[in-house]
Structure 1
Amino acid sequence: MSVNGATYLFGVYSNDIKSSLGYDQTTLNLVSFFKDLGGNLGIISGLINEITPPWVVLAIGAAMNFFGYFMIWLAVTGRTASPRVWQMCLYIWIGADSQAFANTGSLITCVKNFPESRGIVLGLLKGFVGLSGAIMTQLYHALHGNNTKSLVLFIAWLPAAVSFVFLRTVRIVKVSRRHERDVRIFYDVLYSSLALAAFLMVIIIVENRFEFKRIEYVGSASVVVVMLLFVPLGIIIRQEFYEWKNSKNGCSDAKIVPENENTFNQQTPVSCIKNVFSPPPRGEDYTILQALFSVDMLILFIATSCGIGGTLTAIDNLGQIAKSLGYNTNTITTFVSLVSIWNYLGRVASGFASEILLTKYKFPRPLMLTFVLLFSCIAISSSLSPPILSTWRP
């Protein structure tokens, strides 16, 4: 998930698309629309996930990611004839839709594996997606310096490679009981990710103040990889050792919590067509078709479609906004990376906060979504107002 947020890097390389292919702002907005459409259209991956194991969904997403962004890279570097606008829209839709496949394969699997902590799990995983923009920016600087055209090739092969390497490790694991330590482990992973976000924010600010050389970018990227991979891995190894030691000594953990029996009944294969109009009680797992024909899904669909549009517009046009104010490429990259970190903080907070409010105070998540959308409307309208935009400088 930490390398599957390529859609958030559009602001970095959008100017290359615009200048290399001779697009005006209206055409670039059209390309951006298809990027957002692909990144948020998860019905295809959801339907495939209903009838196949997660590795199939991840493999399809990896292939789509490489094909879509590789074709864009060929176009912006002039290695192929200049494509028509509809072709560029198709390429970026395919590349961006791969993110939906990665999300479906990872998120749905983890929610089924940890049904009692789904809010926390979703917050962590979606948080790493938000943080992926800053992570990939550091890795790209270490490999390619400030060559933004090479970024397109980078986001073509890296997510695909990661998905293929871990293809068989993302799977449904059925167990009959959970440890209360699971929640503590989630918080340990959260703390490690917060440390990573803090380091990224500091290094991004330092990079903007001083001119980094390749070796310095390599050093910062190495720290990111260590904090990203080895710290969470160490947390999991510690837990595995703890359980192995207890089982070897014949000790039983007094804090084992039995799972809800209904949870495991939901994991048995269900036909995509059977019981389409007979959804389970609220809070239980729906099939894709049950969700499509439910009123709840319709309401959530309208709310998200109308609510996140302003945020996506702001993120997609960060490059153009910064360029209109005379900022250089390095500053534009800084903008995108910082937004990625704030995106991460919002996603993680929504997952953990919603879980706490729901379990302790019975505060419903849809109501929290309403407040968040309200605050985002106020924030976007304030940040993009002409007086502020014309006078603000970093």
Structure 2
Amino acid sequence: MNESQRWIGVPASLFLELCAGTPYAYGVYSGHLKGTLRLSQKEVNEISSLGNVGLYLSLLGGVFYDRAGPKLTGLIGAIVSAFGYFLIFQVTADNLGSPSVYTVAFLFAIAWQGCSWEDTAAIGTSVKNFPHDRGLVLGLLKSFFGLSGAIVSSLAAGFFPSSGKEVNGEISLVMFLSVMQLTLGIGCSFFVNVLPFASRKKLGYDGDKVFKKGYYIIGSLSLYLVFTTILQANIDSHTLALVGSLLMIPFFVALAGLPFLKSSTEERISEESSLLDSRNNNNQLRDRTDESESLSAESDQLSMENLRPIECLTRSLCFYLLFLSLFCGTGVGLMVINNISQINKAIGGKSSFKITLVSLMNVGNSYGRMIAGYLSEKYKGYISRPVWLMYALTSMCGSQCILALSQQEGSVPVLLVGTILMGTSYGAFWALGPTLCAELFGTTHYGKNYALLNLAPALGGYVVSVCIAGYLYDFYGEVDEDGSTTCIGKNCFESTFLISAALCVVGIFSCLMLQRRTQQWYAEY
């Protein structure tokens, strides 16, 4: 029964990640938010960056998860997020007058804080249930998280007329997110469980095949979204959008059915093995003692150290090196995600092309998570995960150089290439970061440690988006009659991209130091 519960938790965690990734849809409706509230670009970035603080400042969710478990954590997260999105809907519908920038940012922080609880419930549970295959599992889950923005935008485009292209559609999209949290988020929370140590077996050949099928399904869904998004951007037809949304349902059904693809023979053998282990124990007290000793041994073998959050901060240089690397990489990625609409407009891109960029960026985000998760797990005996993180930062640095070139040349195709590469690089951080957190600092206090590490993108996103990108955009832009700022030309973002590339270089050097400090442990791992 425990083995069945472990596998049922996989699609439940996948769809929790889908709900948790809804902040990536911000780029679709941020332009409408800017016009409705008459905001400058710096203020638009402040809203998203402070909202990201809610998303990544998940220490409260981590503490709650370690104490109360995944079900309540996911349930509370879904309810909080639904409430936050409902209040944002009232703002975008102009039902709350003209709230201040910080009031709106607070509402986004509420909605996205709930998303962080859902993410903690899904990721924390999967790290514990699949301790021998963390990279493979997290690559699958985080890929769905990265694809969330493209999925919800496409669904809303089909079920709400003109969604993503006109004001009414963008308002409907926000309400759609609230309803999605109340239904899908709450429903999936009941199927996520942390299993006893005896049930946390290494994946066999058949189990490995199931996860590969999951990769194929999400990869196919990503390509399908690229096709439908480009088609909808060039053919303004609600019927076409509706058909495109309905055709995504088989992909969701296939993901929900992943547990049933597993061989009943392997499951029976695993369950018999767990039952035999249980019968060999003399009494319940002995059961607990053996499980505690096994968990301790597993931590020693599968984690470099087993640290509390305070120990990460006071005695682990590796924590700060990993934090700095993620600060640089994710901060740069969030800057592009939050400003993609304005980046496109600055070089004269069509308004409809914005949706194509958002979708392709999310698809790249999804593929980056799958590629980094799968390859880092498959070749972990040859290339350590800090090296994979360095590769991701190098790729992110290259994407910023390409994006800077797109501003200089005013080339939309170059912008497209840079955006896809950026999304892929950014996604890789989210497959590698959570896995490194478990390997370097243990799983006993994983919820809190993971939440602490998530401060890196929160701070990085604010520094790069607001203090650098927002400031330079407003400096070179002009104030419109309605009080908002518009900037057209290469100066709007070119300097920002070059500064971002330099930040990535800092992150690369941080990764090199992390690799040197952990190479002995990874050589024995």
Q: 1:64 to 1:389 in 2, by over 3 A?
A: farther
The aligned counterpart of 1:99 is: 115
1:120 matches 2:144: no
**Which residue identity is paired with 1:90?**
F
User: Percent sequence identity over matched residues?
Assistant: 26
SS at match of 1:188: helix
Q: What residue in structure 1 maps to residue 79 of structure 2?
A: 63
- What are the residue-to-residue correspondences of 1:273-352 with 2, within 5 Å? 282-283=303-304, 286-293=307-314, 294-352=316-374
Question: Does 1:141 find its partner at 2:164?
Answer: no
Q: 1:44 to 1:291 in 2, by over 3 A?
A: farther
Q: Give the equivalent residue in structure 1 for 2:246.
A: 222
Counterpart check, 1:265 vs 2:304: no
1:19 maps to which residue? Answer: 35
Question: Structure 2 CA distance, aligned partners of 1:263 and 1:52?
Answer: 22
> Residue 380 of structure 1 is aligned with which of 396, 400, 405?
400
Instruction: Extract unaligned runs of 5+ from structure 2.
Output: 1-16, 164-168, 274-289, 417-525
The residue number in structure 2 matching 1:256 is: none
Q: Deviations over 1:263-316 (max 9, x none)?
A: 952599x9xxxxxxxx99844654444444432222211211122211111111
Specify whether residues 151 and 325 from structure 1 end up closer, same or farther in structure 2 by C-alpha distance, changes over 3 A only: farther
- Cα deviation for residue 192 of structure 1 reads 1.4
1:198–1:292 CA distance, 2 compared to 1 (3 A):
same
Does the CA contact (< 8 Å) of 2:207 and 2:262 recur in 1? Answer: no
C-alpha distance in 2 between matches for 1:353 and 1:60? 34
Q: Deviations over 1:5-50 (max 9, x none)?
A: 1221111111111111111112112112112222222322111111
Deviates more, 1:286-295 or 1:118-127: 286-295
2:210 equivalent in structure 1:
185
Q: 1:281 to 1:17 in 2, by over 3 A?
A: same
Decide whether aligned partners of structure 1 residues 266 and 67 sit closer, same or farther in structure 2, where only a CA change above 3 A counts.
Answer: farther
Contact 2:88–2:107 under 8 Å retained in 1:
yes
Counterparts of 2:71 and 2:267, CA distance in 1:
28
Amino acid at match of 2:262: Q
Is residue 81 of structure 1 aligned with residue 97 of structure 2?
yes
Structure 1: stretches of 5+ with no match in the other structure = 252-259, 271-278
1:212 maps to 2:237? yes
Q: Cα offset for 1:94?
A: 1.5
Structure 1 outlier segments of 4+, above 6 Å = 244-248, 260-263
Judged with a 3 Å threshold, the aligned counterparts in structure 2 of structure 1 residues 13 and 262 are, in CA distance, closer, same or farther, namely: same
Whether the aligned pair in 1 keeps the contact of 2:22 and 2:148 (CA below 8 Å) is yes
Query: What is the distance in 2 between the residues matched to 1:389 and 1:173?
Result: 55
Q: Deviations over 1:116-167 (max 9, x none)?
A: 1001111111110011111111110111132112111112221342121112
Q: Which whole-Å CA distance do the structure 1 matches of 2:246 and 2:154 have between them?
A: 9
Match of 2:391 in 1: 371
Confirm or deny: 8 A CA contact 2:92 2:171 kept in the other structure.
Answer: yes
Contact 1:117-1:183 within 8 A present in 2 as well: no
Change (3 A) 1:223 1:284: farther
- Residues 1:234 and 2:257 are matched in the alignment: yes
Amino acid in the other structure paired with 1:307: G
Identify the match of residue 198 of structure 1 among 193, 203, 223.
223
Q: Tell me: CA distance 1:387–1:318, structure 2 relative to 1, closer, same or farther (3 Å).
A: closer
Shift of 1:82: 1.6
The one-letter code matched in structure 1 to 2:170 is T
**Aligned 8 A contact 1:50 1:288 in 2:** no
Out of 411, 417, 426, the residue aligned to residue 391 of structure 1 is: 411
Give 1:167's aligned residue.
Answer: 189
Evaluate the alpha carbon distance shift between residue 4 and residue 282 of structure 1 in structure 2; reply closer, same or farther with a 3 A threshold.
Answer: closer
1:221 maps to amino acid = S
Q: Deviations over 1:346-380 (max 9, x none)?
A: 11111111112213x1x211122122112201211
Offset at 1:385?
Answer: 3.6
Amino acid at match of 1:42: S
Q: Distance in 2 between matches of 1:8 and 1:247?
A: 39
Judge conservation of contact 1:68–1:95 (CA < 8 Å) in 2.
Answer: yes
Q: Cα deviation per residue 1:223-271 (whole Å; 9 max; x = unaligned)?
A: 212212x2123332132645578799x99xxxxxxxx988952599x9x
**Deviation of the 1:331 alpha carbon:** 2.3
Q: TM-score, normalised to structure 1's length?
A: 0.86
Partner of 2:483: none
Residues in 2 aligned to 1:176 and 1:332: alpha-carbon distance in whole angstroms: 44
Residues 246 and 351 of structure 1, relative CA distance in 2, 3 Å threshold: closer
Alpha-carbon distance change, 244 to 27 in structure 1, aligned in 2, over 3 angstroms: closer
d(CA) in 1 for partners of 2:75 and 2:403?
A: 39
Q: What is the aligned length? A: 373
Distance 1:377 1:176, change over 3 A: closer
Within-5 A mapping of 1:42-53:
42-53=58-69
Amino acid at match of 2:346: S
